[in-house]
Chains A and B, each alone.
Chain A
């Protein structure tokens, strides 16, 4: 697997960006799931991401932190190509998922997005029943078998630790749930299509502390099956749930390392300032 990937990377001509050696020490036990190489992103004139190069390992949680407007959400949205929806976006560089460049011609975004689930900042269930919310992803991906759908919906809700709370009101509108429940519903909805990557854009920022704690717990459990990237404002949260942390500032990736290292021994002064709360 690794050799194949290396070959692929080697074969793509990257004249501007210096070829990166994959840090062998990090890949001994875990596979690289996502890799970006020299990604630059412009919104019109605005340079939102400046040459980001970074890797994320399979079945780990990576936290992206940094002050507002630093580009962390934009970076997260690279991996399911959500940035495509914004007009005047210009992306350079390579974004590799499972070794494949997802911005290459011929890549279909719908296939990619099925594999890369996303949970948004504010819970955004559809104005449909609880059941239909979770089943939506299956239906749009062409699954019609009723039993299969019912089974998968139940399993996804169980994974999202919501099943016990909603099993008696599957036909009720999703809007009847509390904010925290809605967010877990959205996680279940994302899980139902069996992605291998889960992107979370400040998933707990709109929730109360108890709901927020539940989401964190959930992330910890989901780690065993999914590669999770989470954007967060909340330092403690990043410290609690993530294995790796990346600090963004003004569109640049300042520092990335294991969470423990970042929080105990940051190399960059700006990282240190941010983590200790001197600005943010």
Chain B
């Protein structure tokens, strides 16, 4: 009797542990299932925490200040004005609404032109006092000084530098993130450059990709299809640096000679390489979509005397229109985010793009090229993260729209 009871209890215990194990495993699997969501959230947090820091911060590093004489009516300067003044494009105060005098630029190195070395002192201990004196004595001065050299009882006026707003950031046409004294953080040329390169790429890739998808899905005999499939797979597998390298040594000289340009690193070179890279995406997805056309639909068309080609463009293509759209959008997504190949062949000039035969610079290429040199936490660093945010948002929109297209398609079927 007792033995039986013991057996039963062991049995129960085994059952209990088994159940526990099942629960444990399910929990573990669920956790890893949630991992991607967690990562997306983390990406958003980290990207935006660094990237949004740029808004509201002054366009000058906080370690230096711009200073004018207290008699000067100008009390603030925009980043663009500062750049133009220091580039000597603006030489008179009246050009920016001040008095009719020339702007006298002053940097800390110029100090000895105004005062003797004895006055400064052997250990430079009198620098703040001398600066005070110089700024006070020259009414037209615009001095660019290190913040720690400003004395307590300073007689000049510190010009607050313009804060970077989303408007100036997104709408600014100049991207000189390391310009002194004020960085120019306009990302419009980068956004336009990215869009230009990507759209031209899709313009090239879409007809080519669709042709191949149609050929592989509807026309080619089985043997050729079996060869084409791994070819497309390989095309997708080639690393982007290799594409970039190939573009650099083959496409760039080709473009240069074909159009008689001084440099072959142009938007067009980038678009061609991106088009090749986007092809596998477009081909696989649109072929899949076409393959989903019901056989009954194709047979109905053929039975009415339509040719294969008429069936393709009157039945198959309209039927798979949403899949083809999704393919094009995903192709754009791939092109927008592509980094290395574009970095290597587009020339990376951060100017507003006017033609496809000019060098342009894209958002990913900018990040890749500049992040290594941007000091962590600085303005430039934040600006590059903000670019990352823009890129993230673009791809998010692309993914969500593809998601909704494929969802709508599923709805239609029922």
Contact = CB atoms under 8 A, between A and B. Distances in A.
Contacts of B318: 127
A85 interface: yes
Interface of B: 222, 294, 296-297, 299-307, 310, 314-315, 318-319
Interface of A: 80, 82, 85, 87, 109-111, 113-114, 117-118, 120, 122, 124-127, 136-137, 139-141, 186, 189-190, 193
Nearest to A112: B305
A193 B299 contact: no
A186 B304 CA distance: 11
A126 B299 CA distance: 11
Contacts of A113: 302-305
Contacts of A190: 303-304
B298 to A, nearest CB: 8
Contact of B305 (A110, A124, A125): A110
B300 A126 contact: yes
A18 B77 CA distance: 104
Contacts of A186: 300
10 contacts: A80-B303, A120-B296, A120-B299, A124-B299, A127-B297, A127-B318, A136-B314, A140-B301, A189-B300, A193-B305
A124 B315 contact: no
A125 B296 CA distance: 9
Contacts of B310: 140
A122 B319 contact: no
A140 B306 contact: yes
Nearest to A122: B296
Nearest to A124: B296
A179 to B, nearest CB: 14
Nearest to B304: A137
A152 to B, nearest CB: 13
A141 B306 CA distance: 7
A169 B302 CA distance: 26
Contacts of A126: 297, 300-301, 315
Contacts of A139: 314
Contacts of B302: 82, 85, 109, 113
Nearest to A115: B305
Given A122-B296, A126-B315, A114 B305 contact: yes
Given A124-B296, A136-B301, A140-B306, 4 more contacts: A113-B303, A126-B315, A136-B314, A189-B304
B303 A140 contact: no
A195 B104 CA distance: 94
Nearest to A128: B318
Given A82-B299, A120-B300, A124-B296, A141 B314 contact: no
A277 B338 CA distance: 68
Contacts of A110: 305-307
A117 B304 contact: yes
Nearest to B303: A118
Contacts of B296: 120, 122, 124
B304 A140 contact: yes
Nearest 10 pairs between A and B by C-beta? A114-B305, A137-B304, A140-B306, A124-B296, A118-B303, A113-B305, A140-B310, A124-B300, A110-B305, A110-B307
Contacts of B299: 82, 85, 118, 120, 124
A120 B294 CA distance: 13
B315 A141 contact: no
Nearest to A120: B296
A117 B302 CA distance: 10
Contacts of B297: 124, 126-127
Contacts of B319: 127
Residue among B296, B304, B310 having the largest count of chain A Cβ atoms under 10 Å: B304
Contact of A140 (B222, B294, B314): B314
A190 B303 CA distance: 8
B294 A124 contact: yes
Given A124-B296, A127-B318, A140-B314, A114 B304 contact: yes
Nearest to A118: B303
A122 B302 CA distance: 16
Nearest to A81: B302
A136 B305 contact: no
A193 B304 contact: yes
Nearest to A125: B300
Contacts of A137: 304-306
Contacts of A136: 301, 304, 306, 314
A85 B296 CA distance: 12
A141 B307 CA distance: 9
A193 B294 CA distance: 23
Nearest to A114: B305
A75 to B, nearest CB: 16
B305 A87 contact: no
Contacts of A117: 303-304
Most buried by A among B299, B315, B318: B299
A240 B155 CA distance: 113
A113 B299 CA distance: 11
Contacts of A80: 303
B350 to A, nearest CB: 48
